[in-house]
């Protein structure tokens, strides 16, 4: 054998790509560390004490308690707040819809005309939302009235069922627009069926 062949076999071979492997490993470890840190912050494990509290919607207002959302100065049109001493420990606020609702009943033979008010024991945001979204709420109420049979309203139980449907319809509209409902009941100020 020649001298050149002997020297090549005895010389150690250089490893290729060592720097590249080290660089890739470093990037992967940094990415995992950053992702883990982000996840810890996002879940509140780190720095949770500074996170904004989640809004859980309108709160009940005790009688005599200050409502942080109550309209100061002029009352919101249609809004009334009642602070009694008996009954529930929460104050009741009413929102009176200014215009009457008139609709054909299901079957098209009869007409209904109602004047409504809604009540809430929650804070003033519910009253503000009723005012702000009255147009969509009115539309939803008219749909509910139009899907009611005249025979269903001949009994007191039928009228109570309509109140429950109207309450649900109003809350559904508030949830769709604001994320929260808050209306406890709907009351008939007047109800005429022809």
> What token pair was written down for 89?
């420990």
pTM (two decimals): 0.67
Range of the domain at 17: 3-43
Q: How many domains is the chain partitioned into structurally?
A: 2
Strand blocks (E) in 36-132: 79-82, 92-96, 101-104, 111-120
Please state, in angstroms and rounded to a whole number, the distance separating the CA atoms of residues 169 and 186.
10
Q: Where does the pLDDT of residue 61 fall: very low under 50, low under 70, confident under 90, or very high at 90 and above?
A: confident
Highest mean pLDDT among 18-32, 84-98, 172-186: 172-186
What is the crossing angle of helices 125-132 and 134-146, to 10°?
A: 70
Looking at the domain assignment, is residue 106 inside a domain?
Answer: yes
Q: Taking 60 as the threshold, does the pLDDT of residue 73 lie above it?
A: no
Domain of residue 169, CATH code? 3.30.479.30
Whether residues 32 and 84 fall in one domain: no
Q: Average pLDDT for residues 41-66, to the nearest whole number?
A: 71
Q: Average pLDDT for residues 162-171, to the nearest whole number?
A: 98
For the stretch 124-134, pLDDT in tens is 999 999 999 99
Residue 76, φ and ψ in degrees, nearest 5: -60, 135
């Amino acid at each position: 054998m020649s001298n050149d062949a002997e020297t090549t076999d005895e010389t150690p071979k250089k490893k290729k790509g060592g720097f590249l492997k080290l660089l890739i490993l470093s990037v992967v470890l940094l990415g995992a560390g950053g992702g883990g840190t982000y996840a810890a912050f996002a879940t509140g494990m780190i720095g949770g004490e500074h996170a904004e509290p989640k809004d859980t919607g309108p709160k009940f207002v005790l009688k005599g308690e200050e409502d942080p959302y109550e309209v100061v100065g002029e009352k919101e049109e249609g809004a009334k707040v009642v602070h009694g001493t008996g009954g529930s420990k929460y104050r009741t606020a009413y929102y009176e819809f200014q215009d009457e609702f008139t609709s054909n009943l299901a079957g098209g033979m009869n007409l209904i005309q109602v004047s409504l008010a809604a009540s809430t024991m929650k804070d003033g945001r519910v009253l503000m939302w009723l005012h702000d979204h009255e147009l969509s709420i009115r539309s939803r109420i008219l749909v509910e009235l139009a899907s009611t049979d005249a025979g269903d309203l001949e009994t007191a139980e039928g009228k109570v069922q309509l109140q429950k449907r109207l309450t649900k319809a109003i809350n559904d509209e508030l949830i769709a627009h604001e994320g929260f409902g808050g209306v406890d009941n709907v009351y008939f100020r007047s109800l005429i069926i022809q």
